[in-house]
């Protein structure tokens, strides 16, 4: 582990983890990244909380939300979301409250652009749960529970039932897109921040057996990029801004053409400059880099390189796009890469930080 350079204004990263009873992790960790070298400071426990496996900011960056456990309307403790106040000066988290969804542990959490609606996706439960966010940044009682339904995909070992895996809000905040791994569908919902609710507004299919997992939308709102966990592909959709409807444009592999082993995808990110996309492969244990055509929306493979560990569950780009930090769950580490702004290519810095069961990376602005 490297020390930060003395005069560098460090970037703060929060790391979500699994917290099994026999494991070393205790919750959310914070680690500083040197913006001059990509070196990490010593990780510290930022919040002791069970299984904060995904994290999301309030748009004001005055609160961070994590998956976890909270009381439902009956007072029973269930999977849900936990709210933390964030002090940008001290870089500290302090608990606000928690809310349960009513059933099952969650897989993903997202907050809309107004900061009034929080949505969790339950992979095992097959539903979305919606919560209001108050002016005090606390979570209100659940406003809705929406099951995803449809015809199951052909890969019965994983596509045994609906498995909503992520929620992505459109740039205009009018629609939310939900990838369902079990149904090979991207579901579309109309967003109502005032009532903290979602209303079904359509769906679009991926390839059979693709298993869509996570998605990102281009800044201009014209294209949706879906990483397919089971297909080891990225599916590119054109998006109609008025209706929210999707139309498939391209499917491109995240793996080398000669790879014959088992691998599944995890995360997808777009570079802040809009010119590149990145995806992670678990099994092949690599990161795939794509050049993005801003007008056509299509992708072209640039690079596939080792992720620096095992099982790259999640990664994120720094706000300025100069660094990529990858969380490798099975090797308990964070690895940093320098990003070439002209080509999108990644170069390992050689810097590593140890975080047990690391599964989510979230940069502070």
Tell me how long the chain is.
365
What pLDDT score was predicted for residue 3? Answer: 47
pLDDT above 70 covers a percentage of the chain that reads 98
What pLDDT score was predicted for residue 305? Answer: 98
- pLDDT for 104 beyond 90: no
pLDDT in tens, 176-220: 999 999 999 999 999 999 999 999 999 999 999 999 999 999 999
Average pLDDT over residues 217-233: 98
Average pLDDT over residues 102-128: 95
What pLDDT score was predicted for residue 8? Answer: 59
Average pLDDT over residues 292-297: 98
CB atoms < 10 A from the CB of 318, how many?
Answer: 18
User: DSSP string covering 50-78, please?
Assistant: S----EEE-TTSSEEEEEEEEE-TTS-EE
Domain ranges of the chain: 48-363
Query: Average pLDDT, whole number, for the chain?
Result: 96
pLDDT in tens, 13-64: 999 999 998 889 999 999 999 999 999 999 999 999 999 999 999 999 999 9
Average pLDDT over residues 326-339: 98
Name the burial class of residue 74, with classes exposed (0-12), middle (13-18) and buried (19+) by CB atoms within 10 angstroms of its CB: exposed
Tokens of residue 58, six digits = 């309030």
d(CA 340, CA 132): 40
> What dotted CATH number matches 48-363?
2.130.10.10
Q: What is the pTM of this model?
A: 0.97
What pLDDT score was predicted for residue 261? Answer: 95
- pLDDT for 2 beyond 50: no
- pLDDT for 4 beyond 80: no
What pLDDT score was predicted for residue 282? Answer: 98
The alpha-helical segments, DSSP class H, found in 178-311 are none
Tokens of residue 274, six digits = 């809009």
Which residue in 337, 239, 340, 345 sits closest to 290, CA to CA? 345
CB atoms < 10 A from the CB of 154, how many?
Answer: 10
Name the burial class of residue 71, with classes exposed (0-12), middle (13-18) and buried (19+) by CB atoms within 10 angstroms of its CB: middle
E strands along 22-122, which residues? Answer: 27-33, 44-48, 55-57, 63-71, 77-87, 92-100, 108-111, 117-122
What pLDDT score was predicted for residue 35? Answer: 97
Degrees, nearest 5: CA angle 231-105-102 = 130
Degrees, nearest 5: CA angle 115-117-118 = 105
What pLDDT score was predicted for residue 147? Answer: 98
What pLDDT score was predicted for residue 7? Answer: 41
What pLDDT score was predicted for residue 1? Answer: 41
Phi, psi of 121 (to 5 degrees): -115, 130
What pLDDT score was predicted for residue 22? Answer: 87
d(CA 130, CA 169): 13
What pLDDT score was predicted for residue 134? Answer: 98
């Amino acid at each position: 582990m490297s020390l930060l350079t003395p005069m560098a204004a460090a970037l703060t990263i929060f790391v979500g983890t699994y917290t099994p009873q026999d494991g070393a992790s205790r919750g959310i960790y914070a680690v500083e990244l040197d913006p001059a070298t990509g070196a990490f400071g010593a990780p510290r426990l930022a919040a002791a909380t069970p299984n904060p496996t995904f994290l999301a900011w309030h748009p004001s960056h005055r609160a961070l939300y994590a998956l976890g456990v909270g009381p439902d309307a009956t007072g029973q403790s269930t999977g849900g979301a936990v709210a933390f106040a964030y002090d940008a000066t001290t870089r500290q988290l302090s608990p606000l409250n928690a809310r349960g969804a009513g059933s099952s542990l969650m897989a993903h959490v997202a907050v809309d652009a107004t900061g009034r609606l929080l949505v969790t996706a339950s992979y095992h439960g097959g539903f979305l749960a919606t919560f209001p966010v108050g002016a005090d940044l606390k979570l209100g009682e659940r406003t809705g529970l929406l099951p995803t339904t449809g015809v199951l995909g052909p890969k019965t070992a994983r596509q045994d039932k609906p498995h909503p895996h992520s929620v992505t809000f459109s740039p205009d905040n009018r629609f939310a897109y939900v990838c369902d791994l079990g149904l090979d569908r991207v579901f579309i919902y109309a967003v109502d921040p005032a009532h903290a609710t979602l209303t079904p507004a359509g769906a679009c299919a991926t390839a059979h057996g693709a298993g869509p997992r996570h998605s990102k939308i281009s800044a201009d709102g014209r294209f949706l990029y879906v990483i397919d966990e089971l297909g080891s592909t990225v599916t590119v959709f054109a998006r109609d801004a008025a209706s929210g409807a999707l139309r498939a444009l391209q499917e491109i592999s995240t793996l080398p053409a000669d790879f014959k082993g088992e691998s599944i995808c995890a995360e997808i990110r777009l570079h802040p400059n809009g010119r590149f996309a990145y995806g992670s492969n678990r099994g092949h244990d690599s990161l795939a880099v794509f050049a993005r055509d801003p007008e056509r929306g299509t992708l072209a493979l640039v690079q596939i390189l080792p992720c620096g560990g095992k099982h790259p569950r999640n990664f994120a780009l720094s706000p300025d796009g100069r660094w990529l930090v990858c969380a490798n769950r099975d090797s308990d580490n964070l690895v940093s890469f320098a990003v070439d702004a002209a080509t999108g290519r990644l170069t390992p810095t050689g810097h590593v930080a140890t975080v047990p069961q690391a599964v989510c990376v979230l940069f502070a602005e």
